[in-house]
Structure 1
Amino acid sequence: MARVRYGARSDAEAAAARERSARLPDIWSTGVVAVWETDPDVVAAVLPPPLKPTARPLVRANISQVDLPGYPLGAGSVAVAAAHGDREGWYPLVMPMTHERALIGGREVFGEPKKLGEVTVERDGLVVRAALARHGIAFVEVRGAVSGPLPLPEPVEKTDFYFKFLPGVEGSGFDADPVLVHCVRNERVRKLERVTGDVVLRESMYDPVADLPVRRLVEITIGEKTTDQKGTVAERVSARDLLPFVHQRYDDPLQILDGPPDTSVRKGASDGAA
């Protein structure tokens, strides 16, 4: 019988796949990172328990082109500063990726809030533009000009927080208790430059980052880096506490019923530094 490709794989095939994945080379990316201060109450509002705000209400937009062999990847995230106990890190609200392969492992293994989207990183001489777009809307755009080199930072360990869960098969709740994941990344940087510019946030029903207005721009950089990552389950969390935040993960058409944007709250969202 000819091989049935949907059939079970042998132990040898599974072992060979694990061995190949364990010997991946360093994968470098070129990315723009913008960090700004927003309103403290907004950061507190988007954090599911047991995450809590940190001392500074920071937002980080990371927009990168990743040099994956054979299929270059655009990858981005918009995250807020958060703490779990005495560990501080970032809680991503949305992570656009340019192809499905990048979604699968992150969402199914770590619980990352990845969605298909468009990711742009452009540099023409000193002029830089980077953007995250979905549904025809560039909901985050970072633009500016390179104003000089920055010292290379030492290798650093960074933590992202994710919630891993499966929506209930009967249409409500979860199939099992959700878990809070600590995803620890070891980051090395080989090039880093300062960018003088601004951050533009545009209203999007599906990616409402305009709710995180730029009150004070902290920094914009462009650089080349490589990271590895390892996830651990930190604790099981209350399904009741997490359910009100599940819409963060999905494009929910019912969000249109939330009403129009409150411009008094979002004033300054499309400006650079406040």
Structure 2
Amino acid sequence: MSAILREAWRTAVPDLDDRHGPLPPLMLLLTVVTGLIDAFSYLVLGHVFVANMTGNVVFAGFAIAGAGGFALAPNVVALVAFAAGAFGCARVIRTVWSHRARVLILALALQVLLVAGAFLTAEVSGSPVKAGTRYALLSLLGLGMGVQNAAARALAVPDLTTTVLTLTITGTAADSRLAGGAGSRAGRRLLSIAAMFLGGLIGALLVVNVRVSLPLLLAAVLLAAACGIAWRLTRSSAPWTRPL
């Protein structure tokens, strides 16, 4: 247990001389954002995610099979928007690939604009969301989460993908000492799982009990804060800023 706690602490409060420097806590923050945004998309926009594309592929299959409560078009829109966001982000960040903080600031700036635009769209449309507005929101948020995923992939901080937990959960269980493994990075992996859970929980509470658009506002605020931190980090020339 003490090793898990030490690993969790090193993830949340990292050594700046580490290979990934201050990136791990920022990746955790983006994982919280994922939970917030997927809570909004699933609960407000129907049975569709804008970050968890595995779910959307399965939901598309449900829709084609005629299962109640699932529609094909929203899932396709989310998938296409996500792919477009990842493609566009990859094209942009390759221009600054010599510095990892500059990769992050560009991706975050794009994502702030997209999520803030989605929040304003949701505010104007009111609740329940109209069909046309639903597709606009899926497009904006899908683009934003594609951008985030492409940036996280480029930065490649181990076990902190910000959107996908399947391999994280597998690694936590399969690498545990009870399974005969070394138990490495269990603290980091558990923090990633907790961050996604926290984002989903807060997002759902806001949608159900307060105002449906508030998860997007909170996500935009967190992204703006991360953007400000990343801006300061662009001045660093520490070893962690060099590409992998």
Q: TM-score, normalised by structure 1?
A: 0.23
Q: TM-score, normalised by structure 2?
A: 0.25
Higher RCO (C-alpha under 8 Å, 6+ residues apart)? 2
Structure with the larger helix share:
2
Structure with the larger strand share:
1
